């Protein structure tokens, strides 16, 4: 993106002066990526902040040419995905298997849409909640591909770069992810989508509980 | 319950794009603080009463008294030039470390953010950190110890600009004639008070200075010290001798203490 190239140029010239601009431009998407991968607001807040700080520290070690050449969107996404993955590993060790909170706290700050009626908004909110929960049921690798490609809106090439996987793999994972999301949303009630992992299986009772 | 939505890929993709949310304000603000590009502050209790302390991801950046939070903020912005925002409290580990430091525990490490200050100022402050609780050294001692023996006035000026008083104990540095000297956190009286809180009898110290007793020696060891050096304080009255200058002590056959390392000072 042009604005990102300009931002990288400013960071290369003066990292400290340019960094607030990076925070302003990327904090929402880094937070969104973390939230949709983890499903917990507090974890997402920490991961997003940590990702921005790590980006700053990494750039402190880079020379100007390297900073200027950074493709900020996929680069920051890859930092957020890696931190979220580490956080999830720790969380899996820590949390009891049927913890409800990560699902209930799925984070919907939908900007109010004054042009539509409250019923429409309630519907939309419910759909989004189901979709966010279904995302958390995807296998982590598939979930990351879907979140970067369609929630964050990276291109296939950028998603491949951020996740360090070939474009063909990304396309297949996104395709598979969309199929599983569709199945999860259409199969209700009762919610019996085939669990794609033991984690998804664990989430089922919780998913049921909030419907 | 059942969601009646047309689940084409396009609809699903549009719904996924709607899962974008705004980050809470703490994400951006916290990142700037952690990177050391903005600071937070909170009140802290000190031997001189309530003060405010500012910090960021690199360390403690400022400590000072102010009539209220607002005047602390504007002073910080003017002096340091970064944004600052009030926090609920000083982080527990930092509060504990500052408390122990002020209490005289020199082993506890407090990260300090001293960017923007000159290497000379930082050298002066680091040297002041070596002075034990309840002891004082003259400005000229710092100047000599950092290898700038003639920069006595500049040492005084650097100490006056100490951004973290009490943590960096600039109150333990006194005039070369032994008088108590100035203090950025409330003048000479405040300096007497904080030295008193460390167990130093400042009335005695000032009386010694007025009497011209700049150095203290022991006639059993023939070692000469600054009067507040812990070795000098152990000398009994019967064996204590005082000198107006290091030259006089040397002439009497006394060698300088290896702990407080007294140096010859311009009168």
CATH of domain A1-95: 1.10.1740.10
Please tell me the pTM assigned to this model.
Answer: 0.81
Residue A118: the pLDDT is: 64
Mean pLDDT of A124-134: 87
Q: For residue A55, which of A127, A106, A131, A4 has the smallest C-alpha distance?
A: A4
Over residues B54-68, mean pLDDT: 94
ipTM of the complex: 0.78
Q: Around Cβ A13, how many Cβ atoms within 10 Å?
A: 12
Residue range B165-188, pLDDT digits in tens: 999 999 999 997 878 888 988 889
Q: Token match 């070596």: residue?
A: B130
Average pLDDT value for chain B: 92
Give the domains, in start order, of chain B with CATH numbers. 31-102 (3.30.160.70), 117-205 (1.10.10.10), 212-267 (3.40.10.10)
Give the residue, A108 or A10, on which the prediction is more confident: A10
B156-168 in b/e form (b: 16+ CB < 10 A) is: bebbeebbbbbbb
Return the pLDDT at A207.
Answer: 46
Residue A124: predicted pLDDT = 74
B159 or B263, greater pLDDT? B159
Q: How many residues does chain B have?
A: 267
The closest CB to that of B2, out of A28, A182, A189, belongs to A189
Q: Which residue of A31, A109, A182 is in closest CB contact with B27?
A: A31
On the question of pLDDT at A109 being above 70, the answer is no
Q: What is the pLDDT of residues B211-258, one digit of tens each?
A: 999 999 999 999 999 999 999 999 999 999 999 999 999 999 999 999
Domain A116-211 maps to which CATH number in 3.40.50.150, 1.10.10.10, 1.20.120.1150, 3.90.1150.10? 1.10.10.10
On the question of pLDDT at B5 being above 60, the answer is no
The answer to whether the bond into A189 is cis (omega within 30° of 0) is yes
- Which residues from chain B sit within 8 angstroms of residue A30, using beta carbons? 23, 27
A187 interfaces chain B, CB cutoff of 8 Å: no
Q: What is the predicted pLDDT for the residue at A102?
A: 42
Cis peptide preceding A190, ω within 30 of 0: yes
A39 — alpha (psi -120 to 50), left (phi > 0) or beta?
Answer: left
A128·B22 Cβ contact <8 A: no
Predicted local confidence at residue A3, as pLDDT: 87
Predicted local confidence at residue A35, as pLDDT: 97
Each residue's pLDDT tens digit, B146-163: 999 999 999 999 999 999
Percent of chain B scored above 90 by pLDDT? 84
* H/E run at residue B215: strand B215-218
Residue A125 to residue A127: CA distance in whole angstroms: 5
pLDDT, tens only, A150-179: 999 999 999 999 999 999 999 999 999 999
Residue range B71-85: mean pLDDT, rounded: 94
Touching check for A200 and chain B: CB below 8 Å?
no
Name, in order, each residue with C-beta under 8 angstroms of B129's C-beta and a sequence gap of 6 or more.
Answer: B106, B168, B169
Q: In what order do the strands lie in the sheet with B83-86?
A: B59-64, B49-56, B38-46, B83-86
B109-130 per-position pLDDT tens digit: 899 999 999 999 999 999 999 9
Strands B215-218 and B83-86: unpaired
- Report residue B77 as tokens: 């912005």
In which element (H, E) is residue A197 found?
none
What is the tens place of the pLDDT at every residue in A52-89? 999 999 999 999 999 999 999 999 999 999 999 998 88
What's the rounded Cα separation, in Å, for the pair B177 and B190? 19
Beta bridge partners of B242: B216
Residue in this structure with the two tokens 């140096």, named with its chain if needed: B263
Provide the 10 A C-beta neighbour count for residue B39: 26
What is the average pLDDT value for chain A, to the nearest integer? 83
CB contact under 8 Å between B23 and A211, yes or no, is: no
Highest mean pLDDT of the ranges A54-68, B5-19, B87-101: A54-68
Instruction: Compute φ and ψ for A77, nearest 5 degrees.
Output: -60, -40
Confidence (pLDDT) at B264: 79
Does residue B11 sit at the A interface (CB-CB below 8 Å)? no
Core vs surface per residue A178-188: b (16+ CB within 10 A) or e: bebbbebbeeb
Question: Quick one: pLDDT at residue A116?
Answer: 55
Q: Is the pLDDT of residue B54 over 80?
A: yes
Contact predicate B126/B167, CB 8 Å? no
pLDDT at A93: 64
CB contact under 8 A, A29 and B37: no
Calpha distance B122→B150 (Å, rounded): 17
In chain A, which residues have their Cβ closer than 8 Å to the Cβ of B5? 127, 185
Tell me how long chain A is.
Answer: 211
Please state the rounded mean pLDDT for residues A183-207. Answer: 55
Contact in structure between A105 and A211 (CB atoms under 8 Å): no
d(C-alpha B44, C-alpha B212), whole Å: 39
Q: Where are the domains of chain A?
A: 1-95, 116-211
Residues of chain A in contact with residue B21, where contact means CB-CB under 8 angstroms, are 28, 31-32, 35, 107-109
Cβ of B17 within 8 Å of Cβ of A178? The answer is no
Q: Given an 8 Å threshold on Cβ–Cβ distance, is B27 in contact with A128?
A: no
């Amino acid at each position: 993106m042009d604005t990102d190239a300009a931002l990288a140029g400013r960071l290369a010239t003066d990292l400290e002066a340019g960094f607030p601009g990076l925070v302003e431009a990327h904090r929402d998407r880094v937070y969104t990526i973390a939230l949709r991968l983890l499903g917990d607001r507090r974890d997402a807040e920490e991961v997003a902040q940590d990702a921005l700080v790590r980006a700053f520290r990494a750039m402190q070690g880079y020379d100007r040419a390297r900073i200027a050449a950074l493709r900020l969107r996929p680069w920051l996404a890859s930092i957020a995905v890696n931190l979220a993955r580490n956080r999830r590993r720790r969380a899996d060790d820590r949390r009891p298997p049927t913890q409800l909170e990560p699902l209930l706290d799925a984070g919907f700050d939908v900007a109010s849409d004054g042009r539509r009626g409250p019923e429409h908004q309630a519907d939309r909110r419910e759909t989004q909640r189901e979709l966010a929960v279904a995302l958390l049921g995807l296998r982590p690798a598939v979930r990351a591909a879907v979140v970067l490609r369609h929630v964050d809106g990276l291109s296939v090439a950028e998603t491949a770069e951020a996740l360090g996987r070939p474009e063909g793999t990304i396309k297949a994972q996104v395709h598979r992810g969309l199929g599983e999301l569709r199945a999860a949303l259409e199969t209700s009630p009762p919610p019996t989508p085939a669990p794609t992992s033991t984690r998804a299986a664990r989430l089922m009772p919780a998913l049921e509980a909030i419907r | 319950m059942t969601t009646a939505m047309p689940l084409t890929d396009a609809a699903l993709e549009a719904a996924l794009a709607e899962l974008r949310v705004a980050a809470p304000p703490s994400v951006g603000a916290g990142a700037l603080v952690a990177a050391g590009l903005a600071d937070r502050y909170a009140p802290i209790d000190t031997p001189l009463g309530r003060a405010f302390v500012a910090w960021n991801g690199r360390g403690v950046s400022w400590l000072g008294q102010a009539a209220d939070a607002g005047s602390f903020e504007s002073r910080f912005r003017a002096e340091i030039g970064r944004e600052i925002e009030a926090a609920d409290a000083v982080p527990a580990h930092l509060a504990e470390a500052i408390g122990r430091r002020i209490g005289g525990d020199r082993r506890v490490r407090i990260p300090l953010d001293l960017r923007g200050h000159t290497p000379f100022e930082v050298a002066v402050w680091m040297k002041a950190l070596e002075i034990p609780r309840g002891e004082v050294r003259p400005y000229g001692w710092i100047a000599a110890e950092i290898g700038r023996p003639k920069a006595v006035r500049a040492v005084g000026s650097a100490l006056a600009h100490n951004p973290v008083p009490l943590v960096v104990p600039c109150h333990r540095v006194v005039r070369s004639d032994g008088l108590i000297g100035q203090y950025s956190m409330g003048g000479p009286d405040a300096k007497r008070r904080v030295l008193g809180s460390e167990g130093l009898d400042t009335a005695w110290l000032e009386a010694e200075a007025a009497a011209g007793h700049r150095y203290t020696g022991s006639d059993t060891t023939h070692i000469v010290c600054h009067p507040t050096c812990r070795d000098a304080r152990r000398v009994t009255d019967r064996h204590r001798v005082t000198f107006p200058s290091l030259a006089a002590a040397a002439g009497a056959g006394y060698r300088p203490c290896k702990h407080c390392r007294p140096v010859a000072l311009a009168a």
